[in-house]
Amino acid sequence: MAAKDRKTALIDHLKHAILTLELEPGSDLDEVALGEAFELSRTPVREVFRQLDGLGFVELRDNRGARVAALSHTTLRDFFLAAPMIYAAILRLAARNARPAQIEALKAAQAQFREALRTGVAAERALANNRFHEITGEMAGNIYLLPSFQRLLIDHARIGMSFYRPRTSQMVQNLDTARHHHDLIIAAIEVGDEDRAAELAEDHWALSRDQIELFVMPAALDAPLGEITRKTSA
Protein backbone atom coordinates (compact mmCIF):
# COMPACT_ATOMS: atom_id res chain seq x y z
CA MET A 1 0.00 0.00 0.00
CA ALA A 2 2.89 2.33 0.72
CA ALA A 3 4.16 2.18 -2.86
CA LYS A 4 0.76 3.22 -4.17
CA ASP A 5 0.90 6.30 -2.00
CA ARG A 6 4.37 7.21 -3.20
CA LYS A 7 3.13 6.86 -6.73
CA THR A 8 0.21 9.24 -6.21
CA ALA A 9 2.60 11.55 -4.41
CA LEU A 10 4.75 11.61 -7.53
CA ILE A 11 1.73 12.30 -9.72
CA ASP A 12 0.59 15.12 -7.47
CA HIS A 13 4.07 16.58 -7.31
CA LEU A 14 4.48 16.58 -11.07
CA LYS A 15 1.05 18.07 -11.70
CA HIS A 16 1.69 20.77 -9.13
CA ALA A 17 5.17 21.56 -10.36
CA ILE A 18 4.07 21.68 -13.97
CA LEU A 19 1.06 23.91 -13.34
CA THR A 20 3.11 26.38 -11.34
CA LEU A 21 6.00 26.42 -13.85
CA GLU A 22 8.30 25.09 -11.15
CA LEU A 23 9.04 22.64 -13.92
CA GLU A 24 9.42 24.65 -17.09
CA PRO A 25 7.61 23.72 -20.29
CA GLY A 26 9.84 21.51 -22.41
CA SER A 27 12.20 20.58 -19.59
CA ASP A 28 13.40 17.00 -19.30
CA LEU A 29 12.15 14.59 -16.69
CA ASP A 30 14.68 12.12 -15.33
CA GLU A 31 12.97 8.84 -14.54
CA VAL A 32 15.89 7.59 -12.46
CA ALA A 33 16.16 10.75 -10.37
CA LEU A 34 12.41 10.93 -9.78
CA GLY A 35 12.37 7.27 -8.88
CA GLU A 36 15.02 7.82 -6.23
CA ALA A 37 13.33 10.94 -4.92
CA PHE A 38 10.00 9.18 -4.45
CA GLU A 39 11.42 5.76 -3.57
CA LEU A 40 9.99 4.08 -6.63
CA SER A 41 11.59 1.89 -9.22
CA ARG A 42 11.65 3.01 -12.82
CA THR A 43 8.65 0.91 -13.81
CA PRO A 44 5.99 2.83 -11.87
CA VAL A 45 7.69 6.13 -12.70
CA ARG A 46 7.38 5.36 -16.37
CA GLU A 47 3.72 4.45 -15.90
CA VAL A 48 3.18 7.82 -14.28
CA PHE A 49 4.81 9.49 -17.27
CA ARG A 50 2.48 7.70 -19.67
CA GLN A 51 -0.52 8.65 -17.59
CA LEU A 52 0.46 12.30 -17.43
CA ASP A 53 1.13 12.20 -21.15
CA GLY A 54 -2.46 11.13 -21.66
CA LEU A 55 -3.65 14.02 -19.51
CA GLY A 56 -1.55 16.58 -21.37
CA PHE A 57 0.96 17.40 -18.65
CA VAL A 58 3.84 15.62 -20.25
CA GLU A 59 5.09 14.66 -23.70
CA LEU A 60 6.60 11.26 -24.41
CA ARG A 61 8.96 10.66 -27.30
CA ASP A 62 10.32 7.31 -28.40
CA ASN A 63 13.70 6.38 -27.02
CA ARG A 64 14.04 9.83 -25.59
CA GLY A 65 13.10 11.14 -22.19
CA ALA A 66 9.74 12.46 -21.07
CA ARG A 67 9.39 16.22 -21.18
CA VAL A 68 7.06 18.72 -19.60
CA ALA A 69 4.47 19.61 -22.24
CA ALA A 70 5.67 22.49 -24.37
CA LEU A 71 4.01 25.89 -24.41
CA SER A 72 4.92 27.44 -27.73
CA HIS A 73 3.79 30.45 -29.65
CA THR A 74 1.47 28.34 -31.78
CA THR A 75 -0.12 26.69 -28.76
CA LEU A 76 -0.95 30.14 -27.46
CA ARG A 77 -2.84 30.84 -30.64
CA ASP A 78 -4.65 27.52 -30.48
CA PHE A 79 -5.45 28.25 -26.90
CA PHE A 80 -7.38 31.45 -27.43
CA LEU A 81 -9.10 29.97 -30.42
CA ALA A 82 -10.48 27.00 -28.53
CA ALA A 83 -10.84 28.31 -24.99
CA PRO A 84 -13.87 30.61 -25.38
CA MET A 85 -15.94 27.94 -27.10
CA ILE A 86 -15.08 25.06 -24.79
CA TYR A 87 -15.37 27.16 -21.71
CA ALA A 88 -18.74 28.61 -22.73
CA ALA A 89 -19.99 25.08 -23.32
CA ILE A 90 -18.67 23.89 -19.96
CA LEU A 91 -20.22 26.75 -18.04
CA ARG A 92 -23.51 26.37 -19.87
CA LEU A 93 -23.66 22.71 -18.91
CA ALA A 94 -22.46 23.53 -15.40
CA ALA A 95 -25.39 25.90 -14.98
CA ARG A 96 -27.68 23.19 -16.32
CA ASN A 97 -26.43 20.28 -14.23
CA ALA A 98 -24.69 21.59 -11.11
CA ARG A 99 -25.61 19.78 -7.93
CA PRO A 100 -25.83 21.54 -4.56
CA ALA A 101 -22.74 19.84 -3.15
CA GLN A 102 -20.77 20.94 -6.19
CA ILE A 103 -21.93 24.52 -5.81
CA GLU A 104 -20.67 24.45 -2.23
CA ALA A 105 -17.33 23.12 -3.46
CA LEU A 106 -17.18 25.93 -6.01
CA LYS A 107 -17.81 28.53 -3.33
CA ALA A 108 -15.06 27.00 -1.21
CA ALA A 109 -12.68 27.14 -4.16
CA GLN A 110 -13.55 30.77 -4.71
CA ALA A 111 -12.78 31.49 -1.04
CA GLN A 112 -9.37 29.89 -1.61
CA PHE A 113 -8.89 32.04 -4.69
CA ARG A 114 -9.70 35.21 -2.75
CA GLU A 115 -7.21 34.19 -0.10
CA ALA A 116 -4.55 33.57 -2.75
CA LEU A 117 -5.17 37.02 -4.18
CA ARG A 118 -4.71 38.49 -0.72
CA THR A 119 -1.40 36.75 -0.02
CA GLY A 120 -0.22 37.54 -3.53
CA VAL A 121 1.68 34.33 -4.23
CA ALA A 122 1.38 33.70 -7.96
CA ALA A 123 1.54 29.90 -7.74
CA GLU A 124 -1.17 29.80 -5.10
CA ARG A 125 -3.36 32.00 -7.23
CA ALA A 126 -2.90 29.89 -10.34
CA LEU A 127 -3.68 26.68 -8.46
CA ALA A 128 -6.76 28.11 -6.77
CA ASN A 129 -8.03 29.45 -10.07
CA ASN A 130 -7.34 26.08 -11.63
CA ARG A 131 -9.29 24.30 -8.93
CA PHE A 132 -12.23 26.67 -9.40
CA HIS A 133 -12.50 25.89 -13.08
CA GLU A 134 -11.92 22.19 -12.55
CA ILE A 135 -15.05 22.11 -10.45
CA THR A 136 -17.07 23.76 -13.21
CA GLY A 137 -15.82 20.96 -15.43
CA GLU A 138 -17.07 18.38 -12.95
CA MET A 139 -20.41 20.17 -12.86
CA ALA A 140 -20.76 20.03 -16.62
CA GLY A 141 -19.99 16.33 -16.44
CA ASN A 142 -19.68 15.72 -20.16
CA ILE A 143 -17.02 13.09 -20.78
CA TYR A 144 -16.41 14.29 -24.32
CA LEU A 145 -15.75 17.91 -23.42
CA LEU A 146 -13.63 17.22 -20.37
CA PRO A 147 -10.43 16.08 -22.11
CA SER A 148 -10.09 19.29 -24.06
CA PHE A 149 -11.22 21.39 -21.15
CA GLN A 150 -8.63 19.90 -18.82
CA ARG A 151 -5.87 20.54 -21.31
CA LEU A 152 -7.03 24.12 -21.55
CA LEU A 153 -6.90 24.38 -17.77
CA ILE A 154 -3.33 23.12 -17.65
CA ASP A 155 -2.16 25.77 -20.04
CA HIS A 156 -4.44 28.39 -18.55
CA ALA A 157 -2.58 27.98 -15.31
CA ARG A 158 0.81 28.06 -16.99
CA ILE A 159 -0.03 31.01 -19.18
CA GLY A 160 -1.32 32.80 -16.11
CA MET A 161 2.02 32.17 -14.43
CA SER A 162 3.98 33.28 -17.47
CA PHE A 163 2.23 36.41 -18.45
CA TYR A 164 1.84 38.16 -15.22
CA ARG A 165 4.01 40.43 -13.19
CA PRO A 166 2.22 42.68 -10.72
CA ARG A 167 4.02 45.74 -12.03
CA THR A 168 1.24 47.66 -13.64
CA SER A 169 -1.88 48.59 -11.74
CA GLN A 170 -3.89 47.33 -14.69
CA MET A 171 -2.63 43.81 -14.14
CA VAL A 172 -3.51 43.88 -10.48
CA GLN A 173 -6.89 45.28 -11.35
CA ASN A 174 -7.49 42.47 -13.86
CA LEU A 175 -7.08 39.94 -11.10
CA ASP A 176 -9.84 41.62 -9.17
CA THR A 177 -12.02 41.53 -12.27
CA ALA A 178 -11.32 37.81 -12.57
CA ARG A 179 -12.36 37.32 -8.96
CA HIS A 180 -15.55 39.24 -9.66
CA HIS A 181 -16.22 37.08 -12.72
CA HIS A 182 -15.98 34.03 -10.53
CA ASP A 183 -18.61 35.45 -8.22
CA LEU A 184 -20.92 36.17 -11.14
CA ILE A 185 -20.30 32.67 -12.50
CA ILE A 186 -21.26 31.13 -9.17
CA ALA A 187 -24.44 33.20 -9.12
CA ALA A 188 -25.38 32.21 -12.67
CA ILE A 189 -24.80 28.54 -11.94
CA GLU A 190 -26.74 28.71 -8.72
CA VAL A 191 -29.85 30.02 -10.45
CA GLY A 192 -29.29 27.82 -13.49
CA ASP A 193 -28.98 30.70 -15.92
CA GLU A 194 -27.25 28.96 -18.84
CA ASP A 195 -27.07 31.92 -21.17
CA ARG A 196 -25.58 34.14 -18.52
CA ALA A 197 -23.02 31.51 -17.62
CA ALA A 198 -21.95 31.14 -21.25
CA GLU A 199 -21.76 34.92 -21.58
CA LEU A 200 -19.52 35.17 -18.55
CA ALA A 201 -17.21 32.57 -20.03
CA GLU A 202 -16.59 34.86 -22.98
CA ASP A 203 -15.84 37.80 -20.72
CA HIS A 204 -13.55 35.75 -18.56
CA TRP A 205 -11.38 34.60 -21.45
CA ALA A 206 -11.33 38.04 -23.01
CA LEU A 207 -9.79 39.18 -19.77
CA SER A 208 -7.06 36.57 -20.01
CA ARG A 209 -6.35 37.66 -23.55
CA ASP A 210 -6.08 41.29 -22.50
CA GLN A 211 -3.75 40.27 -19.70
CA ILE A 212 -1.35 38.77 -22.21
CA GLU A 213 -1.53 41.85 -24.40
CA LEU A 214 -0.54 43.93 -21.40
CA PHE A 215 2.44 41.70 -20.90
CA VAL A 216 3.53 41.52 -24.51
CA MET A 217 3.02 45.24 -24.98
CA PRO A 218 4.25 47.10 -21.93
CA ALA A 219 3.17 50.65 -21.33
CA ALA A 220 4.44 52.79 -24.21
CA LEU A 221 7.04 55.46 -23.60
CA ASP A 222 6.32 59.12 -24.07
CA ALA A 223 8.09 59.92 -27.32
CA PRO A 224 7.39 57.47 -30.11
CA LEU A 225 10.46 56.96 -32.29
CA GLY A 226 8.59 55.17 -35.02
CA GLU A 227 5.02 54.31 -35.60
CA ILE A 228 3.37 52.14 -32.99
CA THR A 229 0.80 49.76 -34.42
CA ARG A 230 -1.65 48.15 -32.07
CA LYS A 231 -1.57 44.42 -32.37
CA THR A 232 -4.88 42.58 -32.40
CA SER A 233 -4.40 39.04 -31.21
CA ALA A 234 -5.88 35.82 -32.65
Residues in region 54-113 near DNA by CB under 7 A:
60, 62-66
Q: Are 194 and 77 in contact (CB under 8 A)?
A: no
Residue selected from 14, 31, 94, 105 as contacting DNA according to rule CB under 7 A: 31
Which option in a second copy, DNA, none does residue 116 bind, with CB closer than 5 to 8 A by kind? Answer: none
**12 near DNA, rule: CB under 7 A:** no
To which H or E segment does residue 59 belong?
Answer: strand 58-59
AA letter at 47: E
User: What's the rounded Cα separation, in Å, for the pair 20 and 24?
Assistant: 9
Which segment (31-39, 95-103, 104-112, 192-200) binds DNA by CB under 7 A? 31-39
Q: Which is nearer to DNA, 30 or 176 (CB)?
A: 30
Q: Which is nearer to DNA, 49 or 113 (CB)?
A: 49
Indicate the SS3 state at residue 98.
Answer: coil
**52 near DNA, rule: CB under 7 A:** no
Residue selected from 12, 16, 43, 166 as contacting DNA according to rule CB under 7 A: 43
Min CB(65)–DNA separation in Å: 2
- CA atoms within a 13 Å half-sphere pointing along the CA-CB vector of 146: 13
Tell me how crowded residue 178 is: count the other CB atoms within 10 A of its CB: 20
With helix as H, strand as E and coil as C, how does 164-178 read?
CCCCCHHHHHHHHHH
Residue selected from 12, 26, 36, 41 as contacting DNA according to rule CB under 7 A: 41
Instruction: Give exposure, 40-53, as e/b (b: 16+ Cβ within 10 Å).
Output: beeebbbebbeebb
Which option in DNA, a second copy, none does residue 209 bind, with CB closer than 5 to 8 A by kind? Answer: none
User: What's the rounded Cα separation, in Å, for the pair 128 and 117?
Assistant: 9
Closest CA to 130 of 182, 173, 200, 95: 182
Which segment (40-48, 89-97, 194-202, 223-231) binds DNA by CB under 7 A? 40-48
Which segment (27-35, 114-122, 129-137, 199-207) binds DNA by CB under 7 A? 27-35
Which option in DNA, a second copy, none does residue 78 bind, with CB closer than 5 to 8 A by kind? Answer: a second copy
Question: What residues make contact with DNA under the rule CB under 7 A?
Answer: 1, 3-4, 7, 28, 30-32, 39-44, 46-47, 60, 62-66
